[in-house]
Amino acid sequence: MNDLTTNPDAIVATELYLPVQDLKTEMPFFLNQLGFRLEEIFPADDPAVALISGHGVRIRLDRDADLEPGKLRLRCDGASGFAGGQDVLTSPSGNIIEIVEANPPLDMPKTQHSFMVRHLRDSDAWVIGRAGMRYRDLIPDRLGGSIIASHIRIPDGGPVPDMVHYHTVGFQLIFCYRGWVRLVYEDQGAPFILEEGCCVIQPPQIRHRVLEASDNVEVLEIGVPAEHITTIDHEMELPNGTMNPDRDWQGTKFIHHKVSEAIWAPWRIPGWESRNTGIAKATQNVAGVQVARPAEVRDAWTSHNTDILFTFVKEGEMTLEVTGEEPYRLVAGDAFVLPPFLKTRYVDPSADCELIEVTLQADFETEI
């Protein structure tokens, strides 16, 4: 007996069973209305089984199948113009055909603003996600689905079991927090090392792959919106032999910000300075990313008017004071979200304190 787990070439075809009551009424529905084609039918004198194919699937319509009616999902370009604009069809035997857009527009939920502090010490257990990576959710309520922020660990160094893939997103940041990771991106040349303190943005649908990581590497991944699709590209090989650093992906350019090339300047918070990652310019102000550190003691009360302001304590510690709240002492690994117009103050930072601030939009005002 062949072991199919080690001999996948032994599989000639795959068939999906759907029950039918009468092929004479079912066949016109699938062949004429949905555009499938007939491959096999038997027996000749009283057909009970028909094999049809099309749209990437092979279906066995079986009169004797002891099954409940099934459901097919057809992903169509211009679904509203297919089947007279209907989004659900029912075959004569009760099989459901769902009609959806193949490439639906990205749904950007309206932000549900909230103040939140997430301490590393209080975090839930890390969960195992894609490619064996450990994930910790930094914004549990995800502000109504508008953003996801994940603290990701890869405990064992070496090759990463990743595949060439892309994300259907509005904005996505990868910030290397600890260790290093080797990455490769479409149209960006050879693989490179993303070092500690450096970051990249992944424009919408740029193909990429994680190749290798150091022991106990940790990264921050920020995505907008919170729920987005990851698609595997089985055709493209990376690197893809093209170098086009100025390529535009839906209004966003690829950025690899290197800490060794950073320029520090006064920040929006008095008494602090920051290094600009260039992400605001690359996204046409859709998002901004700054790394900030204390320069002198000012202890100013401030508020902002941007839609989303997320901060991760990268190094050291500080106290966050919020009107109407007890002070929060924050240490490396903690995170917080400040809704618009909330008055806050950053006080008593340690000398090594560094913050990673992500804002959407990037062009906003800070009131002192």
CATH code (residue 75)? 3.10.180.10
CA distance 259 to 100: 44
Average pLDDT over residues 289-309: 95
In this structure, the answer to whether residues 138 and 182 fall within a common structural domain is yes
In this structure, the answer to whether residues 77 and 123 fall within a common structural domain is no
Number of domains making up the chain:
2
In this structure, the answer to whether residues 192 and 278 fall within a common structural domain is yes
pLDDT per residue as tens digits for the range 29-76? 999 999 999 999 999 899 999 999 999 999 999 999 999 999 999 999
Range of the domain at 12: 8-101
Torsion (CA) 107, 255, 359, 296 in degrees, nearest 10: 170
For position 120, which CATH number holds? 2.60.120.10
Last residue within a domain, chosen from 101, 128, 162: 101
Instruction: Annotate 249-269 with b (16+ C-beta within 10 A) or e (fewer).
Output: beebbbbbbeeeebeeeebbb
CA distance 50 to 39: 8
In this structure, the answer to whether residues 199 and 342 fall within a common structural domain is yes
CA distance 119 to 368: 27
| pLDDT score of 1 more than 50 | no
In this structure, the answer to whether residues 91 and 111 fall within a common structural domain is no
**Residues 222, 162 contacting (CB under 8 angstroms):** no
In a domain, 212, yes or no: yes
Strand partners, 328: 320
pLDDT for the residue numbered 8: 76
**Residues 319, 325 contacting (CB under 8 angstroms):** no
CA distance 30 to 37: 8
Q: What mean pLDDT, rounded, does the chain reach?
A: 93
pLDDT per residue as tens digits for the range 257-272? 999 999 999 999 999 9
In this structure, the answer to whether residues 134 and 146 fall within a common structural domain is yes
In this structure, the answer to whether residues 46 and 144 fall within a common structural domain is no
Sign of the CA dihedral 294, 299, 300, 302?
positive
In this structure, the answer to whether residues 145 and 189 fall within a common structural domain is yes
Strand, helix or coil for residue 322: strand
Concatenating the DSSP letter of every residue in 343-363 gives: -EEEES--TT-EEEEEEESSS
